[in-house]
């Protein structure tokens, strides 16, 4: 039996830099922003999420996929303009940015003038709040929540969302876990002692393998390298 391989749960931060800079298949994040790109599946689900909360024309994609050179330019320009403290808080070092995976999107609320590229306005209420509450149902998480700065190494960014896919997004939202914390939790589950998740009409089996497993569970299977192993997700 074969399995699909993706990078949905790939951990990228200062302690886990991105080695492979080859981008995944990309697509416009929204029809309104064809120059802002996102991993193809994430883009499709972002648009479905925007439609579900009435966000079309009210929420804008501000920044999606960035090449290594683009991330370097943003780092250098922000450092020169704002200084080291601001830059280290709000801009990931080149090679350590989720934007280089194509799985991260920065969003801003339209209608309040020009959007700040580094810190776009994305409030807790209104349509932005509706988006935030529905995000996990479409595979997205708020990547840098308040109170988790010591875990993520990044200041609270209410505008930055990361695609991790279902069922992981829903479980992370339910438990209030960051990606770092969720991957650590998954270390407790193995092929012989997997995590079982029921969501709607689907039954998921999730566990961490030390490397790409030779034997796969039954059902539809996805394999996701994380930097410290491989997360196996099967469902039927």
Distances (CA, A) of 119 to 66, 74, 109, 153, 161: 16, 13, 11, 16, 13
Residue 164: give its domain's CATH number.
Answer: 3.30.1380.10
* Cα(15)–Cα(180) distance, integer angstroms: 11
Is 100 part of a structural domain of the chain? yes
Is 199 part of a structural domain of the chain? no
Predicted confidence band at 1 (pLDDT cuts at 50, 70, 90)?
low
State yes or no: pLDDT of 228 exceeds 90. Answer: no
167 versus 212: the higher-pLDDT residue is 167
| DSSP-derived secondary structure letter, 115 | P
Is 196 part of a structural domain of the chain? no
β-strand pairing of 26-30 with 33-39: antiparallel
143-202 tens-digit pLDDT? 999 999 999 999 999 999 999 999 999 999 999 999 999 999 999 999 999 999 999 899
Supply the pLDDT for residue 147: 97
* Cα(88)–Cα(72) distance, integer angstroms: 13
| DSSP-derived secondary structure letter, 17 | -
Q: Which are the catalytic amino acids?
A: 157
| CB-based contact 35:100 (threshold 8 Å) | no
Is 113 part of a structural domain of the chain? yes
Is 149 part of a structural domain of the chain? yes
Number of folded domains that form the chain: 1
Helix/strand/coil for 205: strand
Supply the pLDDT for residue 43: 98
Is 28 part of a structural domain of the chain? yes
C-alpha of 181 from chain center: 14
State yes or no: pLDDT of 212 exceeds 90. Answer: no
Is 8 part of a structural domain of the chain? no
* Cα(162)–Cα(11) distance, integer angstroms: 11
Is 97 part of a structural domain of the chain? yes
**Reported pTM:** 0.94
Residue carrying the six token digits 């579900």: 52
Q: Which range of residues forms the domain containing residue 147?
A: 14-178
């Amino acid at each position: 039996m074969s399995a699909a391989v993706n990078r949905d749960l790939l951990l990228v931060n200062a302690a886990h830099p991105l080695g492979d800079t080859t981008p995944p298949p990309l697509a416009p994040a929204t029809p309104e922003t064809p120059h802002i790109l996102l991993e193809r599946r994430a883009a499709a689900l972002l648009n479905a999420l925007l439609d579900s909360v009435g966000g079309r024309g009210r929420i804008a994609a501000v920044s999606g996929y960035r090449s290594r050179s683009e991330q370097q330019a943003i780092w250098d320009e922000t450092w020169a303009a704002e200084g080291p403290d601001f830059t280290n808080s709000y801009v990931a070092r080149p090679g350590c940015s989720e934007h280089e995976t194509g799985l991260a999107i920065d969003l801003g609320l339209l209608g309040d003038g020009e959007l700040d590229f580094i810190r776009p306005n994305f409030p807790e209420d209104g349509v932005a709040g509706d988006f935030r509450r529905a995000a996990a149902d479409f595979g997205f998480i708020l990547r840098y929540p308040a109170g988790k700065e010591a875990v993520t190494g990044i200041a609270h960014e209410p505008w930055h969302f990361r695609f991790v896919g279902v069922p992981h997004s829903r479980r992370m939202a339910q438990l209030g876990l960051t990606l770092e914390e969720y991957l650590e939790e998954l270390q407790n589950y193995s092929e012989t002692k997997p995590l079982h998740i029921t969501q709607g009409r689907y039954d998921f089996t999730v566990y961490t393998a030390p490397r790409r497993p030779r034997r796969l569970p039954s059902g539809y299977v996805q394999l996701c390298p994380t930097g410290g192993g491989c997360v196996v997700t099967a469902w039927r």
